[in-house]
Structure 1
Amino acid sequence: MNRSILRAFACSALIGIAAISGVQAQPVPSAAALPDFTGIVEKNAPAVVHVEARYTGGTSRKNQAAGDQATPGQGIPDDPQADLFRRFFGMPLPMMPSPQDQKHTSLGSGFIISSDGYILTNNHVVDHADKVIVRLQDHRTLTAKVVGTDPTYDIALLKVDAGGSLPTVSIGDSRGLKPGQWVLAIGSPFGFDYTVTQGIVSAVGRNLGERDQAYTSFIQTDVPINRGNSGGPLFNLQGQVVGINSQIYSNTGDYLGVSFSIPIDVAMNAVQQLKTKGYVSRGMLGVTVQPVSDDMVKAFKLDNGAGAAVVDITPASGAAKAGIQVGDIILSYNGQALQQSADLPPLVGMTKPGSKVPVEILRNGRKQTLEVTITETSRDQNAVSKSGAAPSAHGGAAALGLTVQPLDNDTRKQLGLNPGQGVVISDISGPVAAQAGLQAGDVILMVNQQKIASVAEFQAATKDVKAGSTVLLLVRRGEQSQFIGLTVPDGK
């Protein structure tokens, strides 16, 4: 049976438990031996919010892959051919027939981290939303601004203006979590606000692989989380937030006892950067690694398969300058031993660019430590800056509903373009570009008769785009070029 990691959603199920003959019953713990969560809930529930994301027009490919077009009350059938990692996207309303005219709503959870209205949730809860609504426990409904998002960490920072001081959660330290500790979640599964579930930490530092959030070492728990819990807080017994509920592991779409939360330390690091820079920077070592296979253990005469085997080096990177070579096995990074290759990206990602870090390697049977200067990874193409996220309501390139990336020289040659000419559309993320007929793979040569040679030039040329603006693009598709006008709705 094919298994899947899914963004926190599942369909309700009842599981019967039958007694097994001949098995001796275990003593039931006394009530005094079990924790009482009522104080934690009473103190923190007012700071937990219900998040409603509203959409108009076609969703991104990422969200379509989530199966978010099912109607309420329907289970999402498991597709054996679907991606291993599927995006949770709340509880959508029934779809309108036309992809361009359809409107739908997705629900999730979040929590207030500062009294002036900053709210933390998952990026996939609000990704590409036209409007985000937040509902508080006192039934106030507020429009939230998307301050910034980071798809790689799956973090979104929202801001509401409540006209006064708001209740907040206490932020804990996820680095001190240990398997077996009690934790609980508060959220809105299936739209049932302020639902409380509890369990224990099953594992820490759980890596889900390169296909989904390779830079995150998750907290694994058995806390039941379902559709609508995503973005909500995970508390320890001290009433402190230690994680953001994000995903479940399932082969059916149902909750099966394994849930994953983003460590709050990772999330708050992202929050600080989103507030100050509008984006999240991550460290880059400059290597491509793979697990140490059994064959490598035999060939290199290793004791075990711990570590990360280097299979490629990025030219001019910190790793290249420090002398790391293909075939080296990285045993530890900044003093932390690597049990598997997936341990490396989260450690590197959390390293501040410019830092000098000791990296222990094994080469030709001998251990040595190299000092590597960590550089910065390129920014996520679909990350949203402080200027806003909603295509129909905010300025900049996001208002056009498209994402671009650099155009490689081989593609330029195939299209008959000169070096340094044009950027390519990598994603259609909103109705403005979609309704104009633009497609992923189209090449943008000019913006308002200004030649475009890089992503930075495209961003600069579109930074003043706002509601009511019309932008003229020179677009190349195949062997033909055409001017296409995009008008951003004024929202009136």
Structure 2
Amino acid sequence: MTDPSPLSSLSSALAEVVARTAPSIVSVRSHRFRSTGFVWKSGLIVTADEALADEGEVEIGLPDGGTTTATIAGRDHTTDIALLRADIASAPVRLATTVPPLGALAIVVATNRDTPSAALGMVSASGKSWRSLRGGDIDARIELDVRLRGSQQGGLALDASGQAFGMAVLGPRRVLVIPTATIERVAAQLETRGRIARGYLGLGLQPVRLDDGIGAMVMNVDKAGPSAAAGIRQGDVIVAVNDQKLSGVRALSRTLGPSSVGAVIDVAVRRGGEPASFRVTVAERPET
């Protein structure tokens, strides 16, 4: 009997990797949305937030073909992570902390319209931490050269040895992976608090163009917020924060991540054309 060819060996190894992971993969149905999730802890499922409806019942398709309902334990739009609670006996996935190198093979194990699925591709980008357009801190930049359908969002990304290194989601023109470190950090907070703390200045801002750069005009002030307490008023124009010129309202919002809560910042403004400075203690954004 001849030895199996290298391709045959590779095919068998990939099939074995998928078979080991599939029992922890579920389908997620919410309103008209379909996506994938995986068992993070007993009774807790991680899925892609962007593929989860804003309201209505959530139904989980189990690996054995059965279904169960789930409730939303918490969700974070900025990192695209949502956590669901469900009565499910499937074993949790073991997430690896490694970040795969550029060019490594990657397998995405997911569901497609409630049917188990798998896709093979390559790590097309592997780099340092980055911040999403919505202001979420992602611990590593991982992109995959793989084709995924919308219902496969939330599937597990595995390396060739079968280690799960993150969750596959659809980004702008590419497939991104939310890495293990981000999932563990965010999901743990969603489990205990149901939300991720974000910084809050209590200001409604409008970008304005100045002779020497960009400013942010204060359109309204939360009377109970930290900026009002510091003395900032409607009509002030913010020009710098901590001696750094303002590059835009969105850029300012992105600095108000979880680590900003409780920090004291120096806010430079122009009031009636005259410079003024205020020290603001960043508060936690109210749930509403």
Scaled by the length of structure 2, what TM-score is found?
0.67
CA distance in 2, matches of 1:350, 1:183: 31
Contact 1:284 / 1:349 at 8 angstroms: preserved in 2? Answer: no
Matched residues, percent identical? 23
Contact 1:148 / 1:158 at 8 angstroms: preserved in 2? Answer: yes
Tell me which of 109, 112, 115 is aligned to 1:186: 109
Give 1:184-263 correspondences, 5 Å limit.
184-189=107-112, 191=113, 193-203=115-125, 204-205=127-128, 210=133, 213-217=134-138, 218-250=141-173, 258-263=174-179
Matched, 1:117 2:43: yes
The Cα of 1:242 is off from its aligned counterpart by 2.2
1:380–1:206 distance in 2 versus 1, CA, 3 Å: farther
Equivalent residue for 2:74?
Answer: 148
The Cα of 1:154 is off from its aligned counterpart by 2.3
Contact 2:123 / 2:145 at 8 angstroms: preserved in 1? Answer: yes
Contact 1:53 / 1:126 at 8 angstroms: preserved in 2? Answer: yes
CA distance in 2, matches of 1:39, 1:46: 12
Equivalent residue for 2:27?
Answer: 50
Matched, 1:166 2:166: no
The Cα of 1:179 is off from its aligned counterpart by 2.3
Contact 2:35 / 2:51 at 8 angstroms: preserved in 1? Answer: yes
Tell me which of 1, 14, 36 is aligned to 1:37: 14
Encode CA deviations 1:425-482: one digit per residue, 9 max, x unaligned: xxxxxxxxxxxxxxxxxxxxxxxxxxxxxxxxxxxxxxxxxxxxxxxxxxxxxxxxxx
- Secondary structure (helix, strand or coil) at the match of 2:151 reads coil
Tell me which of 172, 187, 196 is aligned to 1:271: 187
CA distance in 2, matches of 1:380, 1:277: 11
- Secondary structure (helix, strand or coil) at the match of 2:33 reads strand
CA distance in 2, matches of 1:278, 1:143: 18
Contact 1:354 / 1:373 at 8 angstroms: preserved in 2? Answer: no
Aligned residues: 240
RMSD: 4.2
The Cα of 1:195 is off from its aligned counterpart by 0.9
- Secondary structure (helix, strand or coil) at the match of 1:272 reads helix
1:350–1:193 distance in 2 versus 1, CA, 3 Å: farther
CA distance in 2, matches of 1:313, 1:40: 55
Structure 1 residues not aligned, in runs of 5+: 1-28, 55-104, 251-257, 291-298, 300-308, 330-340, 358-371, 382-492
Encode CA deviations 1:271-303: one digit per residue, 9 max, x unaligned: 1111211211135799x9x9xxxxxxxx9xxxx
CA distance in 2, matches of 1:225, 1:271: 24
Encode CA deviations 1:171-193: one digit per residue, 9 max, x unaligned: 1226x34322322111123x162
Structure 2 residues not aligned, in runs of 5+: 219-226, 232-237, 266-278
Partner amino acid, structure 2, of 1:194? P
Equivalent residue for 1:431?
Answer: none
Equivalent residue for 1:378?
Answer: 285
Equivalent residue for 2:34?
Answer: 107
Contact 2:27 / 2:61 at 8 angstroms: preserved in 1? Answer: yes
- Secondary structure (helix, strand or coil) at the match of 1:171 reads coil
Equivalent residue for 2:62?
Answer: 136
Contact 2:79 / 2:132 at 8 angstroms: preserved in 1? Answer: no
More strand by share: 2
Structure showing greater radius of gyration is 1
Equivalent residue for 2:274?
Answer: none
CA distance in 2, matches of 1:199, 1:284: 41
Contact 1:147 / 1:158 at 8 angstroms: preserved in 2? Answer: yes
CA distance in 1, matches of 2:17, 2:123: 17
- Secondary structure (helix, strand or coil) at the match of 2:27 reads strand
- Secondary structure (helix, strand or coil) at the match of 1:188 reads strand
CA distance in 1, matches of 2:132, 2:83: 25
Contact 2:144 / 2:175 at 8 angstroms: preserved in 1? Answer: yes
Scaled by the length of structure 1, what TM-score is found?
0.41
Give 1:293-442 correspondences, 5 Å limit.
324-327=242-245, 345=254, 349=257, 351=259, 353-354=261-262, 375-379=282-286, 381=288
1:380–1:153 distance in 2 versus 1, CA, 3 Å: farther
Contact 2:150 / 2:170 at 8 angstroms: preserved in 1? Answer: no
Give 1:55-74 correspondences, 5 Å limit.
none
CA distance in 1, matches of 2:264, 2:165: 29
Contact 1:232 / 1:244 at 8 angstroms: preserved in 2? Answer: yes
